[in-house]
Amino acid sequence: MVLCLRVEYWTDFSDRGTQYKDQPAQFNLGKSFDTFGPTGPYLVSTDSFSDPNDLQIVTTVNGEVRQNDRTSNMIFDIPKLISYISSITSLAAGDIIFSGTPEGVGFRNGSFLKDGEHRRNDD
């Protein structure tokens, strides 16, 4: 994967109140606050693991596992995502491609983050 040099976690926060305040729902507006979409804190070089298409993704909230999945369960693997996106738009050094999220998002089970809760991603 010559085009992909690093992999990192990205957290897709959504303000559901803002998203659903008006109809139809405004999904992008609920994701557009200044502190939403944090990445890192670490970048991992792709030469530090053998297969980017089989990485474990674990998200905990206050120590409770909310998401536990592998990149091998993604609909499209990372090379396919890069190929498809680059066929539509130019990619430059430093660009970030965000993919979807594993099963377990708060919207489906009603367990939204609250002030003071601690969210963590591990691999």
Domains identified in the chain and CATH numbers:
6-122 (3.90.850.10)
Specify whether the CB–CB gap between 31 and 13 falls below 8 A.
yes
**Does residue 8 carry a pLDDT above 70?**
no
61 vs 89, which has greater pLDDT?
A: 89
Q: What is the pLDDT of residues 54-78, one digit of tens each?
A: 888 888 888 888 888 888 888 888 8
Task: Strand 56-61: give its sheet, edge to edge.
Answer: 64-70, 56-61, 119-122
Q: What is the pLDDT of residues 30-44, one digit of tens each?
A: 888 888 877 777 777
Distance (Å) of CA 22 to CA 18, 104, 119: 8, 25, 28
Q: In whole angstroms, give the CA distance from residue 96 to residue 76.
A: 17
End-to-end Cα separation, the chain, in angstroms:
20
* Location of structure tokens 């990149």: 71
Q: Which amino acid is at 64?
A: E
Question: What pTM, to 2 d.p., does this model score?
Answer: 0.68
